[in-house]
Chains A and B, each alone.
Chain A
Amino acid sequence: MKHEHAKTATQNACKLCNPLGACLAFRGIENCVPFLHGSQGCATYIRRYLISHYKEPIDIASSNFHEESAVFGGSHNLKIGLKNVSDQYKPDVIGVATTCLSETIGDDVPMILREYKKEFKNGSPMPILIHASTPSYQGSHIDGFHAAVHASVKALAEKMPWQRLINLFPNMVSPADLRYLKEILEDFGVPYMMLPDYSQTMDGGPWGEYHRIPPGGTPASAIATAASAMASIEFGSTIEASKSAAGYLDVMFGVPAYHLPLPIGINGSDKFFSLLETLTGEKRDEKYEDERRRLVDAYADGHKYVFDKRVIIYGEEDLVIGMTAFLREIGMVPVLCASGGKSGLMKKRIAELVPDMDELGIKVREGVDFVDIEDEAKILQPDFLIGNSKGYTMSRKNNIPLLRLGFPIHDRFGGQRMHHLGYRGTQELFDRIVNTVIEQRQNASSIGYTYM
């Protein structure tokens, strides 16, 4: 629907900026400090935003630009910053992501990093420096996420003899999802390299002393082996080729790349498990058959609640695509699939998974904000919304319930422990969706039914 007023400004954005994604991804490398080359505010705002979801300390360093740095270049500040971070955090890796500021003035970060390595060669131990280009005026947070993963693989992967190893690039999913994926790979008995892995760094235990960098994450030495793997699996169907880590390993080292949509729903999860069976030559553990059976049983128990329910789903494009496939297999109609991202691929990818999307009236919109989604909602009258916490404003205003998932969850507890992927994640999502419907019915009834 066209907005009733002309609309140039973005209002209540359904996306975040590029560097945020990079910081999160770098947090999934062991003993790594994310470092933003830009103003102090970028690091601080992003820390605050991530903390409100993950409830974990997240130290992001900043080169803290001044006016002189903006005029004469940020090289000096970047070097001092790297030195200070090295001294204070003693990291193995520093993940340097750029911002709109450093990109606009045209700082040649790779060159500055080379100079830094030369200048400080004999000083404190030299961490590995990874550089991701993440100007905030391009794309959104998900692009920064993939850029950081891609940059890490590019910086670290090196030619080695073939080994029985699977690379998994899981996309921007929850710490709980990451833990589940590791469990699956371990149960298949196959060595793996998953990047990033912030399952512990962004959702860890209590500390007896302050950890400059929390334990957990994928070691740089493991990332180095990525080029020797027998295959890479990358979740996501809208990742730009130039930012696909799996694609890079395929082209440069001949590691076959398997791109799957985020495995949400039975069909999506089946594809993932089948691929693992093919690649490893092993059968999946019986426990996953059990998970699948319970899920099929739950679908049967709950199908009448959800059939033909109309929802709006929004968030990162890959999440929306994965969710759309799942919603269709339980008979729900995602009347609008929306994202602040703009890959230009979302509609095509959804059509691949849901061939009858047009007949069903499924609308796909990229590059939208929450005011656009709200305009659509007024016409489409969905039963509820599915997406992150930022839809709450329009949910409340229009009295449409919101089922929260993805990132960020700022107004509920435990977003970092929510599952979305595989049979287990689908089970959790299905239970929550059915309960949303039940709760809606119960509240709408004047009787006060105690059996629903």
Chain B
Amino acid sequence: MEQIGILEGRERQVLEKNSGVAQADIACDTSSLSGSVSQRACVFCGSRVVLYPVADAIHLVHGPIGCAAYTWDIRGAVSSGPELHRLSFSTDLQEMDVIYGGEKKLYKSLIELIEQYKPKAAFIYSTCIVGLIGDDIEAICKKVARETGIPVLPVHSEGFKGTKKDGYKAACHALMKLIGTGSTEDISKYSINILGEFNLAGEAWIIRQYYEKMGIEVVATLTGDGRIDAVRRAHGATLNVVQCSGSMTWLAKEMEEKYGIPYIRVSYFGIEDMSKSLYDVAVKFPDRPDIMEAAKQIVSEEVKTLYPSLQKFKKALTGKKAAIYVGGAFKTFSLIKALRSIGMSVVLAGSQTGNQEDYARLKEMCDEGTVIVDDSNPVELSKFILEKGADLLIGGVKERPIAFKLGIGFCDHNHERKIPLAGFVGMYNFALEVYQSVMSPVWQFAPRKGGSL
């Protein structure tokens, strides 16, 4: 097989764990190398992904048609009520708009859409060329807000102005403008916000249910099954519980600074981290020992049914090897633990947006010889999958065909998923999906397993 090298300029973003020697920290938090076919998207993507699940707002993409078309109904973020987030609105800028400006079109679009759909708020996403033609989005938003009486929030998400992470921040910035504008009356002292949980396949409902069973009030979920009114009163919660830390830590920090709400980082994937996310919240309410008791009760009940059901999978999967490449690094920690609990080891772990601290922790957790990558690409991922003999890849839509081409199993851990992977039930679903993909007899025909080309 032809040797595949790492691109010049990317060597420091790839590392193979070797405790025997001193290794420099992995380089990260940089913009993608031109021409490297990064799996990352852009600033707009970061904003869109965070705000997408807010279901009673309209999301208007100001720019040419592509950005709105490619994000129409793209995520499995479900709503228990309104579903405005599943519609795609674009100002669909044309050449003349680029020349003469798109402000009038934006204004008219907003007024009409608000009239027609009666949303609780509107998010206006700036795309690349809006940043160039100089439309005064702020002014238009203010004007429309004044005329319609609803919050109209500009999201500065011009694709080229940074990375996906800057998009997260722009989205959080818009949310921050809403937070603090609602009444906090009647909010219990024993209350939390769930941050960075997007209700993919109803995951936020599963998590919310656990907390409510413990006697804790969930004020707002940001942004899964999101509602503008809930966001507006989020500052009334006692604690922020942050899952997708890459996207929402900034918001948590802002809320801490402005409203004095402390935050903790959690993960809802795998038995260990799921349990810990309940205990970590309970610990924050020491005057109510019943909350901790309830948490213990939930964990013990759930594990009692879950654990035996996992054994069949573990038996089959023990010794199999996995590769992980996902958006946020925090998720990789949980996945490593979850995979270990079903007998699998991890030979490749990486993320699009991890930071220095994440990678240090990742390295600590990984086995010797595990390859760690930041902002990787299809060529590198394939190289390591083959070199390390992985049996499974965990990733998103863009990683899926790489796995299937190479003849290995794949677990969809992305925003499109239709099956909840969070919570205790999610761990079962995860193990089942991994089992069904890795153990499928179809791989016998893969060239990797001796099948013909």
| Residues of chain A having any CB pair with chain B under 8 Å | 5-13, 15-20, 35, 38-49, 51-52, 55-67, 69-70, 77-78, 80-85, 87-89, 99-101, 104-105, 135-138, 140, 205-210, 212, 390, 393
Contacts and interface: CB of A to CB of B under 8 A. Distances in A.
A403 B70 CA distance: 22
B66 A20 contact: yes
Nearest to A367: B92
A52 B112 CA distance: 33
Nearest to A78: B34
The 9 A-B residue pairs with the shortest CB-CB distance in the complex, in nearest-first order? A41-B42, A17-B66, A210-B382, A81-B35, A84-B35, A81-B34, A39-B159, A208-B447, A9-B109
Interface of B: 1-2, 4, 7-9, 31-45, 60, 63-73, 86-95, 97-98, 105, 108-109, 112-113, 115-116, 127-129, 131-133, 159-163, 377-379, 382-383, 386, 397-398, 400-402, 404-407, 445-448, 451, 453
Contacts of A43: 37
Contact of A137 (B33, B97, B379): B97
Contact of B65 (A8, A35, A140): A140
A12 B445 CA distance: 41
Contacts of A212: 379
A206 B445 contact: yes
A80 B34 contact: yes
B38 A44 contact: yes
Contacts of A8: 91, 105, 108-109, 112
Contacts of A87: 7-8
B401 A51 contact: yes
A10 B65 contact: yes
Contact of B407 (A47, A82, A206): A206
B69 to A, nearest CB: 5
Contact of A9 (B37, B67, B89, B97): B89
B402 A57 contact: yes
Contact of B397 (A19, A48, A66): A48
B35 A85 contact: yes
Contact of B42 (A40, A48, A59, A135): A40
30 contacts: A9-B60, A10-B65, A16-B69, A38-B160, A39-B42, A40-B32, A44-B398, A45-B70, A52-B397, A57-B402, A59-B377, A59-B379, A61-B35, A64-B33, A65-B160, A70-B131, A80-B34, A84-B7, A84-B34, A84-B35, A85-B37, A88-B35, A88-B37, A104-B132, A135-B64, A137-B129, A206-B446, A207-B407, A210-B382, A212-B379
B275 to A, nearest CB: 34
A321 B72 CA distance: 26
Contact of A40 (B1, B97, B159, B386): B159
A326 B240 CA distance: 60
A101 B1 contact: no
B133 A206 contact: no
A63 B45 CA distance: 17
B35 A210 contact: no
B115 A41 contact: no
Given A207-B407, A210-B406, 19 more contacts: A10-B68, A11-B90, A18-B66, A40-B40, A49-B70, A57-B402, A61-B37, A65-B128, A66-B160, A80-B33, A83-B35, A84-B8, A84-B35, A100-B127, A104-B98, A104-B133, A137-B94, A206-B407, A210-B383
Contacts of A83: 35
Contact of B401 (A19, A57, A82, A100): A57
A64 B72 contact: no
A20 B70 CA distance: 10
Nearest to A49: B70
Contact of B35 (A7, A80, A100): A80
Contact of A210 (B116, B159, B378): B378
A390 B86 CA distance: 12
A41 B404 CA distance: 24
A161 B453 CA distance: 39
B160 to A, nearest CB: 4
